[in-house]
Amino acid sequence: MALTGTVRSARDLRALRHAFERRHAPLADRPAHAVLLVLGVYVGGGLAWWLFSLPSTTFACGDPIVRDSGCTSAWGWAVVAVAVAAGTASARAAGPVTYSAETEFWLLSTPVDRGAALRPRIAAFLICGAIAGALAGRFATFVTAPEGRIAFTCLAAALGVGAVALPMVVQCRVLAPAVVRVVIGLCLVAVPGVVTVAAIGVAVPPPGPLFVVGAWIVVAAPAVSVLRRCGRIAAPEWRVGSDTAVGASAALTALDPSLLTGVVERKAWLRIGSRHSRPLPRHRTAALVRSDLLRHVRRPAPALVACVALLGVAVAVSVASPPAAAVVQLVTVFTMATILAAGLRDVSRDPAFAVLFGTSNTHLRLALSVVPGSAALVAAAVTGFAGSASMASVVLGLLGGCAAAYRMRTRPPIGYDGLILETAVGQIPVDLLRQWARGPDLLVVCAWLAAVLA
């Protein structure tokens, strides 16, 4: 009984840890941390104030972007659906509840109340989801009808809470993981559906006040459930997204998103598991093309998402002006070729792996460019047929998009020993920016030419 009475609460443990950090932190670092905190609040608050005070000019519903001057709320629904799908998928990949090894020690090896220890972080995640949803809703107001701007912002804030809370409920072992996949799939399917309905002339109304209130009530259920049952989140659940969190931190520090995408792809392939081996053709080129195609057959999620997005883009360019349609077509071709050129990226960034194929780099890259080139050709044909751009801009979009994607996917591994410029505001990694500009630089030039030729 005496031992039970001396158990510290989660609040006491947090207070002890913060007191220890304050006592042992160097005095010279405290003013710097305070300045960085104030500067972050100032910059973030200023950007938020600018974004929410900016007049909502309907870019997708007025000249010179579209030919028709009539506005519709379908574009706002499409933006919100894409944001919910992306937010739910990101939260699922990140955990979203994950902890470091130091905090895990306190949660596992001490009799502290696990729910009380997890609840502050979960509440912070829910608040961040609401803020991110409000930002997505604000972006949706730039492409929607004037009467639905406030409603879209409030609705997106509610759905942002739901996008974070739903994977947490799965972590609490209250819902099956398939529920999250169903929600993401429904959002992705709704995007081309809503845009197609609006394109054929059916009016898509904006969300009303009752709909927004109902959405907040619906998302309150998983949010309250996860706050009450977060004690059921065990070590296997919060370790799921630990490698993703580490990859995101490393990618942000090194300015190399490939560190994060590599972790995400590895987890995706581990979920797929093993597959039966298939004989490849005897001809070397046919074997390379077949192996690159099998990659997307065994993991079809990126290709399916790209195809669904292509349908939405095809409907969007059908109501866009020729310059906007040409730019959108170029970006679509570039995106499709980039998504399906994962094999080209792997052999280009790992010379030791490319040597194992026993062929020249030129032959290897050309063979692995067949699948992304075919996808880019399909994207150019679909958007060119649906849009109003000239034939010259369509051809330029196809060639420029493929060239920019090839230039970016064949980029060598990032080097961090290049030129760094010392300025009064800090260091500017000039050589690192030059390496990241390989591919997007050509895309910007081709976008300007395509808009001129359209």
Inter-residue contact 306 to 340 (CB < 8 Å): yes
- 251, containing H or E segment: helix 242-254
pLDDT of residue 440: 86
Where a domain ends, among 251, 269, 303? 251
Where a domain ends, among 251, 266, 296? 251
Question: Is the per-residue pLDDT at 175 higher than 80?
Answer: yes
Same domain, 316 and 246: no
Instruction: Give the phi and the psi of residue 428 in degrees, each rounded to 5.
Output: -120, 110
- Highest-confidence range of 4-18, 273-287, 363-377, by mean pLDDT? 363-377
pLDDT of residue 7: 64
Specify if 35 maps to a domain: no
Strand partners, 200: none
Residue 139 belongs to domain spanning = 55-251
Quick check: pTM over 0.75? no
Same domain, 231 and 342: no
Measured between alpha carbons, how far is residue 156 from residues 50, 80, 93, 139, 228 in Å?
Answer: 19, 6, 21, 10, 24
Rounded to whole angstroms, the Cα distance separating 14 from 415 reads 40
pLDDT of residue 67: 41
Same domain, 229 and 289: no
pLDDT of residue 261: 79
> Parallel, antiparallel, or unpaired for β 426-428 and 421-423?
antiparallel
Same domain, 73 and 194: yes
Question: Is the per-residue pLDDT at 5 higher than 70?
Answer: no
pLDDT of residue 106: 67
Inter-residue contact 207 to 148 (CB < 8 Å): yes
pLDDT of residue 65: 43
Specify if 101 maps to a domain: yes
Measured between alpha carbons, how far is residue 409 from residues 291, 337, 361 in Å?
Answer: 18, 9, 14
Same domain, 200 and 144: yes
CA 389 to chain centroid, in Å, comes to 29
Tokens 């010279």, residue? Answer: 28
Specify if 31 maps to a domain: no
Inter-residue contact 304 to 51 (CB < 8 Å): no
Inter-residue contact 380 to 333 (CB < 8 Å): yes
Where a domain ends, among 251, 276, 300? 251
Specify if 398 maps to a domain: yes
Specify if 301 maps to a domain: yes
Same domain, 385 and 336: yes
Q: What percent of the chain has pLDDT over 70?
A: 87
Give the count of beta carbons closer than 10 Å to the beta carbon of residue 43: 10
Specify if 441 maps to a domain: yes
Same domain, 339 and 211: no
- Provide the mean pLDDT of the chain: 79
Region 280-298: mean pLDDT is 83
Q: What percent of the chain has pLDDT over 90?
A: 2
Secondary structure class of 113 (helix, strand, coil): coil
**Amino acid identity, position 208:** G
- The residue among 203 and 326 whose pLDDT is bigger is 326
Same domain, 214 and 304: no
Same domain, 237 and 297: no
Region 370-399: mean pLDDT is 85
pLDDT of residue 25: 67
Question: Is the per-residue pLDDT at 28 higher than 80?
Answer: no
Secondary structure class of 421 (helix, strand, coil): strand
Same domain, 166 and 290: no
Structure tokens at 95: 């955990």
pLDDT of residue 27: 62
Q: What is the pLDDT confidence band of residue 100, given thresholds at 50, 70 and 90? A: low
Q: What is the pLDDT confidence band of residue 425, given thresholds at 50, 70 and 90? A: low
Q: What is the pLDDT confidence band of residue 60, given thresholds at 50, 70 and 90? A: very low
Q: What is the pLDDT confidence band of residue 424, given thresholds at 50, 70 and 90? A: low
**Domains in the chain, number:** 2
Same domain, 311 and 423: yes
Q: Which of 87, 89, 97 is nearest to 232 (CA)?
A: 97
Specify if 10 maps to a domain: no
Rounded to whole angstroms, the Cα distance separating 76 from 436 reads 32
- Which region among 142-146, 205-209, 337-341 has the lowest average model confidence (pLDDT)? 142-146
Same domain, 244 and 306: no
Specify if 17 maps to a domain: no
Rounded to whole angstroms, the Cα distance separating 354 from 344 reads 10
